[in-house]
Amino acid sequence: MNSTRIGHRYRDAASGKALDVWFPRSNEAIERHCLAEKLGLIVGDFVTLSLPSPNRPPTSAEDVYLRLHLLSELAFRPNTLNLDGLFDLLNNVAWTSVGPVLPSRVPELRVKLQHVTHHLGIPSIDKFPRMTDYVVPEGVRIADADRVRLGAHLSPGTTVMHEGFVNFNAGTLGESMIEGRVTPGVVMGRNADVGAGASIMGTLSGGGKQVNSVGERSLIGANAGIGISLGDDCIVEAGLYVTAGSKVRTPGGKVVKARELSGMSGLLFRRNSQSGSIECVATDGRSWGGLNDDLHQSN
C-alpha cells in the first residue's frame, strides 16, 4: 500500500468548498472532466495526502475521502479508522448526472444547461456518494449501486441484492448475502445472511457507540433485526426484532435482557407463538442451509 495517495478533487468554483476527491487505486494523477466543470460551477485539481494515522480523527474533507477509499479498497476493516467528526467536515452535495455541485447551485446549473442536450438527473443530495463511482470492488455483486455508500467494506463473494443497503464503515469479511440493511460499524462474518427487510443497529442509531456484529454462518430472517451482536451459527427468526433490552427466556428457563446474550454462538432467537415471549434455544446455525456456494463463488 502506497504511503502517499494522489487524488483528483472537485471544488465549488465560487466558495472553494471541497465536494469530493477520487483516489485511483493506481495512484496516478488521473484528471476527471464533467459538464458542471465545463459550465464553470466547479473546478478540479490534484491533492496529495499521506496515509492517515488510524487513531487520529480526520482534519479535512480530503482526509475523510481518503479514509472512505481505504475502507472500500479493503485496506482497513470497519472500526479500525477514526472517523470522528466526519459529518462536520463533509459538505452536502447534489450528486448530479453532470457532476457534483452544491445543492444551492442546482437552479443555476439548470439555467446553464438549457442549451445543452442533456436531461439533468439528481439521484441524491447527501454527504456521501455511492461507492461504485469511486471504488469498484472485486468479486462482488451489487444489484443497486445507489444503496452502497463510499466507505462500505465488501469482501469478495459478497452479494448485495436490490433491497440491500450497506453504509460507510460497515460491511463483510467474506462471502455474504445482504438483502437487508447493514448500518455503520456493523461487520458480518463469512457466510452470514441478512434477510430481506432485516436491519442491524449501527453506531449511529440513537447516537450510541455500541458496535454490533454478525458472526460466521449466522442468519437474520426476513424483516427481523438485532440491536445486539450475534456469534457464530446463530439464527434470528423472521419478523423478530431483538433489541439490547428485549427480555429473552434462555434454554435454562432464566429470563435475561438480550444484551447478556450478545456475541454468544449457537443460538436461535424466536417468538413463542402461544405466549408471545421471546426465547432462545441452542441450535446449530448451519441447519438453515447456509449460502448458495455457486451464487457467491461465481462473483
Q: Among 175, 179, 237, 279, which one carries the catalytic annotation?
A: 179
Is residue 179 annotated as part of the catalytic site, yes or no? yes
Structural element, H or E, at residue 72: helix 61-72
Asked if residues 10 and 100 have their Cβ atoms less than 8 Å apart, the reply is: yes
Nearest to 83 by CA among 153, 11, 158, 25: 153
Asked if residues 207 and 192 have their Cβ atoms less than 8 Å apart, the reply is: no
Q: What angle do CA 102, 94, 133 make, to 5 degrees?
A: 120
Task: Enumerate residues 6+ apart whose C-beta is below 8 A from 280.
Answer: 248, 249, 250, 251, 261, 267, 268, 269, 270
CA-only gyration radius of the chain, Å: 21
Nearest to 277 by CA among 299, 295, 291, 258: 258
Q: Is the dihedral angle over the CA atoms 6, 156, 283, 248 positive or is it negative? A: positive
Bridge-based pairing state of the strands 42-50 and 4-12 = antiparallel
Catalytic positions: 179
